[in-house]
Amino acid sequence: MSTPTRLLSTKFTLTTPFQLNFMHKMIHTTGPSTAFIPAPESKGKPITVIGNDAIRETFCDTTIKQIQNCRSAPGVTEVVLNPDAHLGYGAPIGCVMASPTHIYPGPVGVDIKCSMSLLQTDVHDDKIADKRIRRDLIKAICERTPTGAGKGQRSVKKGRKVTLEIGRKAVTEGASPEVCEALGIPPEWADRCEDHAHYAHDGTVSSLEARLDKMLHAGYHSRFQNKIEQLGSYGGGNHFGEAEKVTINGTQEAQRAAEVFGLKNNHIAFLSHCGSRGFGNDLAQRQFKDLEAHFEKWNIPYPNGDKKLVYAPLGTPEGNAYLDDMALGANFATVNHLLINALILEAFQEVIPGTTGDLVYFISHNIAREEIVNNIPQWVHRKGATRAFPGGHFALKDTPFYKTGHPILLPGNPRDGSVVMAALPGAEKSCYSVNHGAGRILGRKAAARALDQSTVDQEFDTHDILFNGRKYPIDEAPDAYKDFNQVLASVEEAELAHQVAHLAARFVIKDSSAADD
């Protein structure tokens, strides 16, 4: 993937030209940060594009081709390309796809229900100004929440014991009262989740239990034991935990939303990004394998020849199997996040006795959910995209967020910060969705070649941001991602959402193993 010529920081400039080619000529501007791409052969509704001029230049031709492939896939009625969009697995990361008739694993992704969560504490920012306090917090957190591929609760000193029985209940029941009690998770946190539990294709837990039993009896038992021990862990890659100073925006609208969300100005919140770990990946890879075998057996053509756009019609055995596996992975991700937050709060309480904290929200950006789109039920696939229901949306009727819209948690990067947003009525144009963050501008290998480690580490020192390692992973450096200010400007100019609060990183928890080799 080539990259645009742009100033990435005051100390480093990329000089590789971006391939605009003919694909960008297909993007037609309709507003400051809205555009469309005609559907292939002009059949059906055009693809909605969210992004200003600077952002649209970050879309490589292959990303545009992928989103066109999604639009022409069977049963698809709506497709959205978000400002964080970049090359993905079958579908771009940073896209939305809706279908009333088909389910697609690719536009969900291999990390089923990769998500964001935010824990608000009563710790004032002043209390952690001392680097020694922050180092103690990093140590206490890392003794409870493992990072790195394959790491689980057994690899840390103060983790939770996750039994096979609780692991079974976690993946079939989600954040049920019994699961929360067993793992030390405040049960009321389940009410602060986009979805605290996912059910089988028939709306039952029993069918999920039967699906899991079938897996275990087919030889997955020992591997399952290993995977459930990853509950309460971050993993590697772009997953992270960040202690954040909260600054609430000054508008009345933002102040009202912040009060409902439970945000505390100038206090420390903790932002987490992770998903269903190895268990969700196993489920997703098995689904790709099974569906590809089905396509080959029946000589079904892949959408535009792309195997990673395999699908299953809803109501078929294949469609039911995918929905069941997606639910199992999604339940794991939900409990994983809630357990991480319980462990984070416990770590704060160890270092700063008397600390209290509450979950602000937990929201996914790799999931398919059945929602009403264009007045009919459709499965909305969000891959690197997050739900954005505004105040007054009927789906929020019995929640605390009916008047304000629910919290939207958008990570940027440690240097430039992250934000909490709330949707506006204009989000209807994007299937009530926004981007899930900044989105990559450099691939991992390209980042390692182009960026300077000493410059990255110096920026962290300049901004007084601590890290749980000696060197910040170069492939996860802020300049490996798109300009977050341009991303946010696109969301606001398109009238999808407004900022409620800015989050400034005070320290970062991330997989440091590769960087510290």
What average pLDDT does the segment 353-371 reach? 98
Task: Grade residue 21 by pLDDT with cuts at 50, 70 and 90.
Answer: low
Distance CA 228, CA 287 (A): 20
Residue 441 pairs with which residues in a beta bridge? none
Selection from 482, 485, 478, 481 nearest residue 463 by Cα: 478
In this structure, how many other beta carbons lie within 10 angstroms of the beta carbon of residue 90? Answer: 24
Can you give the pLDDT at residue 24?
A: 78
Distances (CA, A) of 297 to 111, 283, 300, 320, 517: 27, 21, 8, 19, 46
DSSP string for residues in 492-506: HHTTSEEEEEEEEEE
Task: Grade residue 517 by pLDDT with cuts at 50, 70 and 90.
Answer: very low
What average pLDDT does the segment 268-280 reach? 97
Q: With contact defined as beta carbons under 8 Å apart, do 512 and 468 qualify?
A: yes
Task: Grade residue 20 by pLDDT with cuts at 50, 70 and 90.
Answer: very low
Distances (CA, A) of 360 to 154, 238, 252, 401: 28, 22, 19, 11
The interaxial angle of helices 131-142 and 317-351, nearest 10 deg, is 140
Q: With contact defined as beta carbons under 8 Å apart, do 474 and 12 qualify?
A: no
pLDDT tens across 195-247, in order? 999 999 999 999 999 999 999 999 999 999 999 999 999 999 999 999 999 99
Q: With contact defined as beta carbons under 8 Å apart, do 455 and 13 qualify?
A: no
- The rounded percent of the chain whose pLDDT value lies above 90 is 91
pLDDT tens across 303-318, in order? 999 999 999 999 999 9
247: three-class secondary structure by DSSP: strand
Q: How far is CA 86 from the centre of its chain?
A: 14
Catalogue the E-assigned strands of 159-305.
Answer: 240-248, 267-274
Q: With contact defined as beta carbons under 8 Å apart, do 153 and 159 qualify?
A: yes
pLDDT tens across 432-476, in order? 999 999 999 999 999 999 999 999 999 999 999 999 999 999 999
Active site residues: 436
- The rounded percent of the chain whose pLDDT value lies above 70 is 95
Can you give the pLDDT at residue 16?
A: 35
Residues in the chain: 517
What average pLDDT does the segment 479-485 reach? 97
In this structure, how many other beta carbons lie within 10 angstroms of the beta carbon of residue 35? Answer: 22
Task: Grade residue 19 by pLDDT with cuts at 50, 70 and 90.
Answer: very low
Q: With contact defined as beta carbons under 8 Å apart, do 81 and 70 qualify?
A: no
Selection from 292, 285, 294, 283 nearest residue 317 by Cα: 294
What average pLDDT does the segment 343-370 reach? 98
Selection from 362, 429, 356, 428 nearest residue 48 by Cα: 429
Distance CA 287, CA 310 (A): 9
What average pLDDT does the segment 327-353 reach? 98
Can you give the pLDDT at residue 11?
A: 31
**Residue type at position 488:** L
345: three-class secondary structure by DSSP: helix
Can you give the pLDDT at residue 9?
A: 31
Average pLDDT, the chain: 93
Can you give the pLDDT at residue 151?
A: 83
Selection from 418, 445, 427, 421 nearest residue 508 by Cα: 418
pLDDT tens across 400-439, in order? 999 999 999 999 999 999 999 999 999 999 999 999 999 9
Distances (CA, A) of 365 to 59, 137, 276, 303: 20, 28, 12, 24
Can you give the pLDDT at residue 22?
A: 64
Query: Residue 150: exposed, middle, or buried by beta-carbon count in 10 A (0-12, 13-18, 19+)?
Result: middle
Distance CA 303, CA 293 (A): 15
What the block records as the tokens of 11 is 């100390």
- Structural domains present in the chain: 7-509 (3.90.1860.10)
pLDDT tens across 56-114, in order? 999 999 999 999 999 999 999 999 999 999 999 889 999 999 999 999 999 999 999 99
Can you give the pLDDT at residue 23?
A: 75
User: Residue 343 has what DSSP assignment?
Assistant: H
Task: Grade residue 150 by pLDDT with cuts at 50, 70 and 90.
Answer: confident
DSSP string for residues in 27-86: -EEEETTEEEEPPGGG-SSPEEEE--HHHHTT--HHHHHHHHHHHTSTT--EEEEEEEEE
Can you give the pLDDT at residue 398?
A: 93
Can you give the pLDDT at residue 514?
A: 55
What the block records as the tokens of 400 is 């605390």
